[in-house]
Structure 1
Amino acid sequence: MPSTQPSSPKQSASDQATAWFARLHADDVTAAEQEQFKSWYRESQQHAQAYDKMLLLWDRLEAPGKRVNARVEAEQPALAHRPVPGKQPYIRRLMAASALALVVLLSYQLPVHYQNWQSDYYTAPGKQLTVVLNDGSRLTLNTDTALAVNLSDSQRSIELLRGEAYFQVSPDKNRPFIVSNGIAKARAVGTAFSVKKTDEDMQVIVSEGTVEVSAGKTDAPTLVHINQQVDYQQGRVGPVIPTDILETLAWQRGQLIFKRQPLARVITEVNRYRSGQIMIINPKLKERVVSGVFDTADPNAVVDGVKTTLKVSSMNLSNQLVLLY
């Protein structure tokens, strides 16, 4: 691997710290990369705190890591104790990926707790919550969602910290209703729409009325009408496209509907409904196509469906962590 920084400035400090941690523990890490890491670590207090937090998480994983190793050896003793051409490197990669998966799992949980503390309302994985605000607007929070509410005399402001919510807005021309992910904004007066936040991106789906979506102060707002959606990605608002409300908002009926979607995207969505994570260890599986209708109350059924249709294997490292390979 070339000696270049494994993290990107577009990533959060936590994501960069995770990338550096994985690279520094690789067998082929170079002296140049170690120097680059030192520069990154000293670059800001945020970097240092993120990496120190990662070290603390790793310390806590020492015992689970030993259990992972013991289980792999117990389940595949012939591969663990006898050299088999072409198999040993795979087992080592699986064990390394297992340990890193545990790190990623815990590193995800820390910011979630912080967002919950910042929010006015939040939901745990697999749960939903309906809230009626003082102005009569109704908010339905989907799984693993957190948002903060600020109602003033001039506007009604919602900051979506993570997740997805559906908004049925009570009309008030004097107080526009604005939902933001911290960068992009969706503005409505009286309508119904959903907003989903993924990292720095945002998706808006309109089921009633019209919503203005904007980012920055210079670009003109994009109008999104009923049965349409728009995505804010990579710093810009994309084109407005038609959407099937029955499919895209199926979560309100307790369903997840996938039509020829890459497995990586399916697993990302399903993970929002679980208290833990399903992780794809074999990169070749990520682009395999999946179609189906799943019950949000039973997200683990997706693993059974994937194993049957795609002929893949899985390993449960705990009640929360499942590896696909």
Structure 2
Amino acid sequence: MAKGDPAKARIERATELFARLQNEGATGEDREAAAIWRREAAENEQAWQEVAALWAFLGEARHEPLLASMRARTQDNIASVPASAASRRWLPMALASCLIGLICAPVIWWSLHQKDDPGVKAAPAMARDGYMRQIYASDVGQRRIVSLSDGSTIELNSGSEVMVAFSSHRRDVRLVKGQALFSVSKDKSRPFVVDTGALKVIAVGTAFDVRRGQDGADITTMEGLVRVEPHVRSAALQPTLVPAGSKLSMLCDTLKVGKVDVRKETIWTRGLIVFDGRCLSDVAEEMNRYSQRKLTVSPSAANLTISGTFQASNALAFARTLQQQGLIEMDDTGREIRLSAQSPAVMTHALCRRKKI
């Protein structure tokens, strides 16, 4: 364990717990220990997500010469250990040591804690085989544009994070959380692939928006054509083409593609947010993505329908607008803004379907 460096210690602990779960002998106690540790602190969950993202990228980069060599040596070491030792706790610890080694290796140079740019979580590293990785993030209420080495750009929405990995034959991006708009530079020899965890979005030269949710993802194509491939395929989950002016939504293990107003779908890039007949409970949940000061909605006002265009990061102005229109009462505590019904006569009791993405 890294003494004196809590951030590094969290990464090492996350790596150890994560590696245990990759072992076929993982027990219920292992899973419970990981779940408890992740819930203990937001920093723990962040470290877990960073290790999981690296693990996923290592799978994508398995053919890179340096990684292939390191993996082969590790497998040889594991094979040389007596079965009696490997059958206990040695194998998960060996996997953890291997992963920590990869985190610190020159091929990736996982320097998470040396930040010149507050939105950059890892310094760039170029290995001798041309492999490069970088993590970029935006704070709540912040939007930022990232220029990549190939000429592509990524615009991050509020509270978003991406992990970028470029090699000599492909360009990989993992959307760890949130939403991002990708403007991809054309390079037929290196496909540009965005991984949301459940889906892969593959493009050569195009512009598209990806939003990751708890149970799925939304992909909107502004220019060109993208191919969406589910990680797990079924009769309802098959590779799908999404042309310009269309949006693909994945929710509850189904894919749906339809025409959309691209300007409205990407209006967040101008700091705005649009609602068209959405229930106030859903609207507050969406507004809270953009502001440190959260909106809370009483049950009496939850089903009030809201339509209009608002400043995404100004929750107070949004609440005052509703109050001025006589729709709600507002209580600003300084830490949160509480919304409640002003009068039952103005409430619209429409059915409210909760959207999670």
- By the TM > 0.5 criterion, same fold? yes
SS at match of 1:300: helix
Is the Cα–Cα contact under 8 Å of residues 262 and 288 in structure 1 kept in the other structure? yes
Kindly provide the CA deviation profile for residues 185-233 of structure 1, in whole angstroms up to 9, marking residues without a partner as x: 1111110000011223211011101111121254431111111101111
Secondary structure at the residue paired with 1:306? helix
SS in 2 for 1:44: helix
Q: 1:313–1:41: structure 2 CA closer, same or farther, 3 Å change rule?
A: farther
Match of 2:34 in 1: 46
Q: What residue in structure 1 maps to residue 173 of structure 2?
A: 158
Of residues 229, 234, 240, the one that matches 2:252 is: 234
Question: In proportion to residue count, which structure has more helix?
Answer: 1
Aligned length: 229
Amino acid across the alignment from 2:265? T
RMSD (Å), alpha carbons: 2.7
Provide TM-score, normalisation by structure 1.
0.63
The 1:190/1:306 distance shift into structure 2, 3 A limit, reads: same
Letter in 2 for 1:167: F
Change (3 A) 1:173 1:163: same
Change (3 A) 1:114 1:283: farther
Contact 2:320 2:330 in 1 (8 A): no
The residue number in structure 2 matching 1:179 is 194
Residue 249 (structure 1) aligns with: 266
- The alignment's TM-score, normalised by the length of structure 2, stands at 0.58
Structure 1 residues 144, 42: CA separation in 2 closer, same or farther (over 3 Å shift)?
A: closer
Separation in 1, partners of 2:165, 2:238 = 25
Corresponding residue SS for 1:278: strand
Q: Which runs of 5+ in 1 are unaligned?
A: 1-39, 55-106
Counterpart of 1:192 in structure 2 is 207
- Sort the Cα spacing of 1:162 and 1:233 in 2 relative to 1 into closer, same or farther, 3 A: same
CA distance, structure 2, for counterparts of residue 114 and residue 315 of structure 1 = 37
Identity of aligned residues (%): 26
- Decide whether aligned partners of structure 1 residues 47 and 140 sit closer, same or farther in structure 2, where only a CA change above 3 A counts: closer
Q: Which residue of 1 aligns with 2:285?
A: 268
Q: CA deviation at 1:310?
A: 5.9
How far residue 234 of structure 1 moved from its aligned partner, in angstroms, is 2.0
Structure 1 residues 243 and 43, CA gap change in structure 2 (3 angstroms): same
Corresponding residue of 1:221: 239
CA contact (8 A) 1:42 1:48 kept: no
| Distance in 1 separating the partners of 2:224 and 2:173 | 19
Amino acid across the alignment from 1:247: K
- CA displacement at 1:146 relative to structure 2: 0.8
**Cα distance in 1, alignment partners of residues 47 and 337 from structure 2:** 22
Task: Report the Cα offset of residue 288 of structure 1.
Answer: 1.7
Give the deviation of 1:301 after TM superposition: 1.2
1:35 equivalent in structure 2: none
Q: Contact conserved, 1:205 with 1:229, CA < 8 A, in 2?
A: yes
State yes or no: 1:137 paired with 2:125: no
1:275 corresponds to which letter in structure 2?
Q
Distance 1:135 1:258 in 2: 36
Match of 1:209 among 219, 224, 233: 224
* Contiguous gaps of at least 5 residues in structure 2: 1-27, 51-111, 113-120, 123-134, 341-357
Between the aligned partners of 1:212 and 1:239, the Cα distance in structure 2 is: 14
Preserved contact between residue 115 and residue 146 of structure 1 (Cα < 8 Å): no
Distance 2:29 2:288 in 1: 31
